[in-house]
Amino acid sequence: MVTLQSAESIAEVAHANRQIFIKEVLEGPVFKSMVRGIEEAALAGKNQFTFQPNDVNESSETREVLLDTLKLAGYKTSYFFGNLITIKWGKEK
């Protein structure tokens, strides 16, 4: 006989694995590349940076983690087709 886990049990599994996924994204090369680009743009006196992951097919889940992390840190973001993310900070010109 096949048994079905409760929705609560499955939700706990999903939450735990989501936290692992978020940690992997924030420690991975895509996030590090984005941070480097933001820092380089700021050092050049700019208040925005347009980021496109090397892999245009980067998962929507990865993009969601990036956008959520940027928002929590106070950045303004816009997402465009082709995985372009415009990241803004500071005062508008």
Q: How far is the CA of 24 from the CAs of 6, 61, 81, in angstroms?
A: 27, 12, 24
The percent of residues in the chain predicted with pLDDT above 90, rounded, is 74
Mean pLDDT of the chain: 91
What pLDDT does residue 30 have?
93
Over residues 39-78, the pLDDT tens digits come to 999 999 999 999 988 765 568 889 999 999 999 999 999 9
Give the domains, in start order, of the chain with CATH numbers.
7-88 (3.30.1370)
pLDDT at 82: 75
| CA torsion through residues 71, 25, 87, 81, sign | negative
Percentage of the chain modeled with pLDDT above 70: 94
